[in-house]
Structure 1
Amino acid sequence: METLTKTNQGFDFCRIWGNFDFLGIIKGIDAVLWGPFVLIPLLLGCGLWLTVRLGGIQFRKLLPALHLAFVRRDEADPQDGASTAVSPESGQAPHETDATKTPTTRPAPHELDYSPTATGEIPALTATSGIPIVNTIEGDISHYQALTTALAATVGVGNIAGVATAIHLGGPGAVFWMWVTGLVGMASKYSEAFLAVRFRKKDANGEMNGGPQHYLQYVTKNRRLGKVLALAFAIFMIVASLGTGNLTQANSLATQLNHSFGIHPVLTGLFLSVLAGVVLLGGVKSIGRVTAAFVPIMIIIYVGASLIVLGLNAAAIPGALALIVRDAFSGTAATGGFVGSAFIVTLQYGVARGIFSNESGMGSAAIAAAAARTRQPVRQGLVSMTQTFIDTIIVVSMTALVIVVTGAWKLSGPNGHGFDGAPLTAQAFTIGFPGTQGHWVVAISLVFFAFSTVLGWAYYGERCIERLAGLKAVAVYRIVFAVVLFVGCISSIEVAWVLADISNALMAIPNLIGLVLASGLIARETRDYLRRDPKLRAAG
């Protein structure tokens, strides 16, 4: 999700502010929100709290979660059982009498549906049945497609540029805190997806719509407060989708294509707007199909290239890992062009860039999880938490190790300072990759990563605009989104970058409040499900 180093290409929107230092003001706000005293402790604290409440579910159930995501058959398989609703009181299908009813099988408790009823009411647990008995499968896309849609938005240029920036400013030890953030954040990601499925509902098109913009209104008995939290999230998510998920990604993609291949930004803007528009017109099913095919390829290419570099520098890996762990607690003195950092700086940049990369606690990926075909939320929660594992523990680690083992983080750039952002990653691949074409790996990966992020965040924005203005407003949003993509390709948008960061922070705050308020519900229903599902219970 993190964006590439800002450029001065095209029209500069900052000029409209004249001598008024608007950019300086919003940069100050951004620094406070993402500093060591606001979001970093909130996000880490929430993740730790949920880790404790859920008994370390991200460690105990990681292997079965990966199995659910990539191996186990889709829940829509008709062999899983009938889709007939069953009455909690009688155990038989509604509108049937004892004389006319057809034989039905009461579903196993771990197969039951937690979703809202047809009237939109949210079913509650009962002492006798544990959960409402509705043997139906709802949803628009598979577990796997929901995962790849979320990965499309998450595995972005932040996995290339964001990691490099963390190392440049915080030292190699920042990587350790990115790992910690990812591991703790898996509990947050699980909880978000759980709530998204638990409180989702159908829209006028028959598609499932869920996420913080819906579930936040149910996590507190004070419905007025809940609605305020939900609406605040939706508003800031829309702003972020046009900034983080649109302007900045388009600018990064156009800049990279121009620098690497000489393609004019106007051509990139036209092509990107049309291509994204075609995919978005197909709705979540179209996005799911594209990302299901697209995301694995882009991750395999990047991870494969990284493994080649690491294989050629295998002897340096133990030393690199030792440096990352040692530097996490001591900081690193200035070396060459490297910006020296103390422990607090290392911690701050590691946590902040880790959160930017995996989005755990921000609530965005929960919107994709809500569209999954599933009977209940625990299973999708397990699948969704693997997203953070893939993003941070696998992809981020590849970038970090390539930068550290090649020594690129200690080199000085043309301006006498150390390389930063994507240029640092490109320098590392140039040094470590066979031949002289290592920078092409970064260039091609950035194009894939940026486009996938655009698709994922466009879907998030659609769901939130529908929450605020209804289904008809989605068509208008798609047009606006396509136009903004073109603008992002041809403009200098430093203000948009900072505003997007602020929107990310502001949408995370109501979601974190909701996760803490709902932690008891999440823990209770998770324990109930795991106790009743023999396969997951046996897995840990």
Structure 2
Amino acid sequence: MDAINNFLLLLDSYLGSAVFFPYVLLGTGVFFTIYLGFPQIRYFGQALRIVTGKYSKKDAPGDTSHFQALTTALSGTVGTGNIGGVALALFIGGPAALFWMWMTAFFGMTTKFVEVTLSHKYRVKTEEGTMAGGPMYFMERKLGMKWLAVTFAIATVVCSFGSGNMPQSNNIAAGIHDTFHIPHWVTGAVLSALLFLVIVGGIKRIAQVAEKIVPTMAFLYVGGALYVIVMNAENIIPSFVAIFSDLFNGSAAVGGFLGASVALAWQKGVARGLFSNEAGQGSAAIAHSSARGNEPASEGMVSLLEPFIDTIIICTLTGLVILSTGVWNQKHENTFTRTDMTFINGEYSDTNPAHVAILGQYLGANPASSGITVFNGELQVDNGKIVGGDYTLLNSRSVAEDYQVLITNQAGERTPYSGPLKISNGNIDNTGAGHEMLLIHGKSLVHSVPLTIKAFSAELGIYGEYIVAIGLMLFAFTTAIAWSYYGDRAIIYLVGQKGVLPYRILYVLGFMSASMIDTTVVWNLAYVTVAFMTLPNLFGILMLHKDMKQTVKDYWTHFKATGAD
């Protein structure tokens, strides 16, 4: 797992976490916002009217209504990114990361408008009579770039596992286990069976499920979040102050949080914003291509609502819950995952300002400048406590406290370990006798879903855990459903209808297996695959900017003449 995680981090450093990526993503949104005259503002009211079906014609070509297409696409975007992704962005980049998520959403509204309009315009009818659309179709049919279309379609299939499938299953299983103590594999098995029953019915069944679950889950989660925020009303203004003040100064070390630079907040906020609303990725365009309508721009306008609902509303509520309760910089008891912890040489304390500065450098963009090196050697453990040794244990970007080394027996019971602890390259070396059964439990910062659970539980107690767990299950499960559709449309493009059933079977098996895989590895896989889709899609829509502008003009001409979409 360590080797896989390191490889994924290396890939991500050249893609989603590369210096150029946020500029390309936001730059495309800024360009189209100016080029099309701020459509996310000018067409917002029209989008609301269209999604209610005010201008629809039942005999228009397509498989779903505008509302069903919106809820299907929302079910693909409103997922673990809204619960765990926001928490991860704040955990790494500090409060300012939320601001960059907002910017990604605002300009992403225009980007989504463009990609959906073009995908709807160049959609095709499949052998079974349903609609198939997405960036791969305008890449081939308009740009004449079959190679680019194939690249995007392959990336979509891979991303359906790395973004829409595995992180969702993993986070559902973790949340259900933490709240209800149900084994990961049981959750994975039950939900995998339900997933198969839904996706085998195709887009019509998926849309029917989505239009019922999405409003329900949004009401539940938003209601709980608003309650927590109101109960911490005195911290709302300080939270906003931290978001904006940290934009220019970076986030200072506070509590267990060791600080974050301006660059880190920008990078992580944009990347997590993309993972949340998928604007620029081209995925939601596949769902919107199924909508009934004659004018592509009308469905593009409906898609404007997605980043607004997904990020500006739901992600903001999650962020304010975490910031207003103050749990983001507090240490909590947790079991350390090996990919989150590192033994380093030397003894450091997060109460010593000089140590904090050095540790902040080590956790920043250039660890080598800190002078800190990872620990290699053997430590002695007596009844769970490490005895002696010139080292510090970092977990989840914080100095770990009150930790014990435990060993798990065949019955799954944990008991304090005594004996040698072999450390290689900063982590427990599995070549040591019985070391694969060792784990460390203690206090540190937490991230992703556990951090959001801590925030909700701060005011709602056990009911907060229930809200997050149930919300997570519904959010993530519907995301997996939507992404199965994206993947099977890509499979149809690549190999035809015959590939759909094998793909669906593999998709369900991947969902099952991911419920038992390390969280950090799964998230890193997600970030890599997202970038593989985004870059070809952004290139394609930029190439078609004139086509897009003409399509919008044609829409308004048609609308003024007929009053229909």
| Offset of residue 272 of structure 1 | 1.4
Q: Which stretch of structure 1 is more off in the superposition, 237-246 or 142-151?
A: 237-246
8 Å CA contact 2:231, 2:459 repeated in 1 = yes
Cα pair distance change 1:535/1:360, threshold 3 Å: farther
CA distance in 1, matches of 2:493, 2:514: 26
| Offset of residue 517 of structure 1 | 0.4
Cα pair distance change 1:339/1:215, threshold 3 Å: farther
Q: Deviations over 1:435-471 (max 9, x none)?
A: 5532222111111111011101100000000110101
Q: Which stretch of structure 1 is more off in the superposition, 517-526 or 210-219?
A: 210-219
CA distance in 1, matches of 2:261, 2:166: 33
Q: Deviations over 1:378-409 (max 9, x none)?
A: 11001012011100110001001111112222
CA distance in 2, matches of 1:536, 1:488: 50
- Match status 1:66 vs 2:48: yes
Q: Deviations over 1:110-130 (max 9, x none)?
A: xxxxxxxxxxxxxxxxxxxxx
- One-letter code aligned to 1:430: S
8 Å CA contact 1:256, 1:446 repeated in 2 = yes
Q: Deviations over 1:268-301 (max 9, x none)?
A: 2221121111111111000000000001111111
8 Å CA contact 2:329, 2:445 repeated in 1 = yes
CA distance in 1, matches of 2:484, 2:175: 21
Give the corresponding residue for 2:355. Answer: none
- From 160, 182, 185, give the equivalent of 2:83: 160
CA distance in 2, matches of 1:243, 1:228: 22
Give the corresponding residue for 1:100. Answer: none
- Match status 1:369 vs 2:288: yes
- Match status 1:388 vs 2:307: yes
CA distance in 2, matches of 1:313, 1:243: 36
- From 33, 46, 56, give the equivalent of 2:28: 46
Give the corresponding residue for 1:513. Answer: 539
- One-letter code aligned to 2:318: T
Unpaired segments ≥5 residues, structure 2: 334-399, 402-443
- Match status 1:498 vs 2:479: no
- Three-state SS of the structure 1 residue aligned to 2:258 is coil
CA distance in 1, matches of 2:48, 2:320: 24
- Three-state SS of the structure 1 residue aligned to 2:182 is coil
Q: Deviations over 1:406-445 (max 9, x none)?
A: 2222322234433322222111112233x55322221111
Runs of 4+ aligned structure 1 residues displaced above 6 Å come to none
After TM superposition, list the pairs within 5 Å mapping 1:397-476 onto structure 2: 397-414=316-333, 415-416=400-401, 417-433=444-460, 435-476=461-502
- One-letter code aligned to 2:66: H
8 Å CA contact 1:74, 1:143 repeated in 2 = no
CA distance in 1, matches of 2:261, 2:118: 38
Cα pair distance change 1:244/1:524, threshold 3 Å: same
- Match status 1:230 vs 2:127: no
8 Å CA contact 1:235, 1:464 repeated in 2 = yes
TM-score, reference length from structure 1: 0.81
Q: Deviations over 1:302-357 (max 9, x none)?
A: 01111111222233323322221222222111111113112111111111111111
After TM superposition, list the pairs within 5 Å mapping 1:281-300 onto structure 2: 281-300=200-219
CA distance in 2, matches of 1:239, 1:385: 26
- One-letter code aligned to 1:389: F
| Offset of residue 522 of structure 1 | 0.6
| Offset of residue 140 of structure 1 | 0.2
TM-score, reference length from structure 2: 0.77
Cα pair distance change 1:346/1:301, threshold 3 Å: same
Q: Which stretch of structure 1 is more off in the superposition, 320-329 or 388-397?
A: 320-329
- Match status 1:141 vs 2:64: yes
- From 519, 525, 530, give the equivalent of 2:556: 530
- Three-state SS of the structure 1 residue aligned to 2:165 is helix
8 Å CA contact 1:58, 1:385 repeated in 2 = yes
Give the corresponding residue for 1:180. Answer: 103
Cα pair distance change 1:536/1:330, threshold 3 Å: farther
Cα pair distance change 1:535/1:295, threshold 3 Å: farther
CA distance in 1, matches of 2:512, 2:310: 28
- Three-state SS of the structure 1 residue aligned to 2:140 is coil
| Offset of residue 496 of structure 1 | 5.0
Give the corresponding residue for 2:192. Answer: 273
CA distance in 1, matches of 2:508, 2:224: 32
CA distance in 2, matches of 1:535, 1:187: 25
- Match status 1:480 vs 2:501: no
Percentage of matched positions with identical amino acids:
39
- One-letter code aligned to 1:181: T
| Offset of residue 31 of structure 1 | 2.1
Q: Which stretch of structure 1 is more off in the superposition, 250-259 or 202-211?
A: 250-259
- From 55, 58, 61, give the equivalent of 2:37: 55
- Match status 1:171 vs 2:171: no
CA distance in 2, matches of 1:506, 1:357: 16
Q: Which stretch of structure 1 is more off in the superposition, 207-216 or 405-414?
A: 405-414
Unpaired segments ≥5 residues, structure 1: 1-13, 16-20, 78-82, 84-136
- Match status 1:211 vs 2:134: yes
8 Å CA contact 2:115, 2:282 repeated in 1 = yes
Cα pair distance change 1:337/1:229, threshold 3 Å: same
Give the corresponding residue for 2:440. Answer: none
- One-letter code aligned to 2:114: S
Cα pair distance change 1:247/1:482, threshold 3 Å: same
- Three-state SS of the structure 1 residue aligned to 2:254 is coil
Q: Which stretch of structure 1 is more off in the superposition, 30-39 or 366-375?
A: 30-39
- One-letter code aligned to 1:481: Y
CA distance in 1, matches of 2:524, 2:238: 36
- Three-state SS of the structure 1 residue aligned to 2:117 is helix
Task: Name the Cα RMSD after superposition.
Answer: 2.0
Give the corresponding residue for 2:251. Answer: 332
After TM superposition, list the pairs within 5 Å mapping 1:19-30 onto structure 2: 21-30=3-12
CA distance in 2, matches of 1:306, 1:322: 20
CA distance in 1, matches of 2:241, 2:526: 35
Cα pair distance change 1:247/1:360, threshold 3 Å: same
- One-letter code aligned to 1:58: Q
CA distance in 1, matches of 2:54, 2:41: 23
Q: Which stretch of structure 1 is more off in the superposition, 474-483 or 178-187?
A: 474-483
- Three-state SS of the structure 2 residue aligned to 1:479 is helix
CA distance in 2, matches of 1:52, 1:348: 23
CA distance in 2, matches of 1:473, 1:239: 14
CA distance in 1, matches of 2:200, 2:561: 39
